[in-house]
Amino acid sequence: MSMRLNKFLSSCGLASRRKCEEIILAGRVSVNGQTVQNLSTVVDEKKDKVCCDGKEMKLPTEFVYLKMNKPKGYACTASDEKGRKTIFDLVESDVRLFNVGRLDYDTEGLILLTNDGDFANLVTHPKYHFEKEYIATVEGEVKEGDLAVLRKGVVIDGVRMPTAKVKLLSFDGKWSKVSVIIDEGQNHQVRRMFEAIGKDIKLLKRVRIGDIHLGGLYRGKTKPLTAEEIAYFKKGM
């Protein structure tokens, strides 16, 4: 079967399609011994030998789908250039996996891991709009006026951030807990939202992606997605 090079690499479990494009452009991929940097390259899985960093890429015979409760202080990458701990230090698997999307180093909570590139592309593609819910623990009281600004979309450097569903869950006199639901992912989006209203986040935790909840999964632990959870995401394929 012939397919675009980035799709082939992603299907091999190397990374998401977007990340695979970066790897190709960096000159790390060869086809039949020749370095390829053309993103439009098409390969045949039965005829062509595709390597990344000298290692031959093979399509998996079975797919793995996990959810993890990512702890704070771990990077969402297979190898961190700063030498920090990564989420894959916590995973015991004989299969090469990659993370679906990412969470900031200081953010914890739900993240998905897989070796299925099509699945990863589906979950992260903007057109499917899977909601992501975060619980932000914020210093001080977050008042209704603050919530209204967040819902409308704060303006940062003259650009309005996407709207969000925001609800105050509790205030104990020192800390506010706020539910934030977004369906667009921008770098550090939730933290930047609160910084724009002068609030500092003590802890940020993602608790839901679409209908998939973190539940009672312990920090640093993984759990296979159920057949129903996998089917929920794949219904758009």
Catalytic residue numbers, as ranges: 104
CA 84 from chain centre, in angstroms, equals 18
Is the Cα torsion angle 188, 20, 229, 73 positive or negative in sign?
Answer: negative
Cα separation values, 11 from 22, 76, 98, 212, Å: 16, 19, 11, 23
Dist. CA 194–CA 182, nearest whole Å: 14
What is the rounded radius of gyration, in angstroms, for the C-alpha atoms of the chain?
Answer: 20
9 Cβ contact partners less than 8 Å away, ≥ 6 residues apart: 15, 20, 23, 24, 29, 50, 52, 57, 117
Contact 41/20 with Cβ under 8 angstroms? no
Q: What tokens appear for 202 in the block?
A: 């003590």
Contact 234/130 with Cβ under 8 angstroms? no
Cα separation values, 44 from 6, 9, 58, Å: 12, 12, 12
Dist. CA 178–CA 3, nearest whole Å: 44
